[in-house]
Amino acid sequence: MSKKTVTLKLSKPTAECINASASKEVRMFAASGKLPVEAKELVVALYYLAHDKDPDVKKEARKSLAEFPQAGLTPILSSPETHPKILDYLSRLNAGNVSIQEMILQNSTTEPVTVGRIAETADEKLLNLIGENLDRIKENPELIESISKNPHVTAELKEKLNAATTDQNKEEIEEEDGLSEAAPEGERKEESADEQVEEGKELDSDSVYKQILEMGVSQKIKFAITGNKEARSILVKDPNRLVCSNVMKNPRLTESEVVLYSSSKNVSEEVFRMIDKNRDWLRSYQIKLNLVSNARVPLPIAMKYINHIRDKDLEILSKSRNVPRAISNMARQLVAKKKEKKK
């Protein structure tokens, strides 16, 4: 898996001091933390040098970051403009500093993977802080698993998180039911007969969720391919690839569910890859539009379907800030080409 490039903004003089083309002497001076620049720029420069190819430069930069005064770090850790990779690095470097971890957790830019890593070893105070951000947890349900691994997690916090995710699943199930009601009458009746019964009995969303919560991975994998609609709506968000991919192999899976999953921000990339491989699902225009419009979908998949998007939707995509820049740029180009042809 190739590493993603992290783009960092620096003034020209600072950039020249930390560039690989600069002499080792200059880079070592910069790595010592003595550059006459503001704290924000110095931290960015040190982060860059902490990944220098020269082990001496790397070691010196890491030492400078580890010893960086907390007063200077505070505005950086609190700023939503700080790059999430820098926040992640600083959280690792200051693993034992509760106040620094607290600021990183409260920063909206902090990535879920950073929060999850902190959650696994945090003390009770930090765990409760993580648990207070229910919006973040609902968007990234895998955080519950990270929190559960922590020996300091309280029964009260577990109950709070379970209640929050149960409420979310109820909302999404209701949304799915709304989509089903829009289907032709005959199709709707057939689906309700199939979907409401699992092994000869009805299960409400609460009991299904509690049942899944107690399952091991192997049980989830089996249930994903045999479970009813409520089970699928929960298991499709499971971070384990085998679990969520088995949901997509479930013989009861309906197109209306796939429409919902293709627009979801809470499913793994594996779900989108499986949708991409299924020709029957891709006959649906709405699914193709969702794959292009959903920023969570891997770019190579999204780009495959942009030529299938209708003019009106292309116009919307070309102006949208909620899609990757590559998608909006391509949509803009296609709109311009189509307008040119009409002249």
- Residue for token pair 């000869």: 200
Give the model confidence (pLDDT) of 231-265 as tens digits: 999 999 998 889 999 999 999 999 999 999 999 99
Q: How far apart are CA 330 and CA 303, in angstroms?
A: 9
The mean pLDDT value of the chain amounts to: 83
Give the model confidence (pLDDT) of 151-177 as tens digits: 888 888 877 777 765 554 444 444 444
Query: What is the number of H-type helices and E-type strands within the chain?
Result: 23, 2
Domain ranges of the chain: 12-111, 160-195+204-342
- Residue 91's pLDDT is 94
Q: Is the dihedral of CA 167, 171, 172, 176 positive or negative?
A: positive
Query: Which two three-digit tokens encode residue 215?
Result: 């399952």
- Residue 205's pLDDT is 57
Q: How far apart are CA 289 and CA 42, in angstroms?
A: 43
Q: Is the dihedral of CA 43, 45, 48, 51 positive or negative?
A: negative
Phi and psi for 201 in degrees, rounded to 5?
Answer: -150, 155
**Looking at the predicted structure, is the pLDDT value of residue 208 above 60?**
yes
Q: How far apart are CA 305 and CA 118, in angstroms?
A: 38
Q: Residue 339 burial (CB < 10 Å; 0-12/13-18/19+)?
A: exposed
As a whole number, mean pLDDT of residues 66-83 equals 91
Residue predicted with more confidence, 302 or 181: 302
Highest mean pLDDT among 6-15, 125-134, 262-271: 262-271
Contact 84, 111 (CB under 8 A): yes
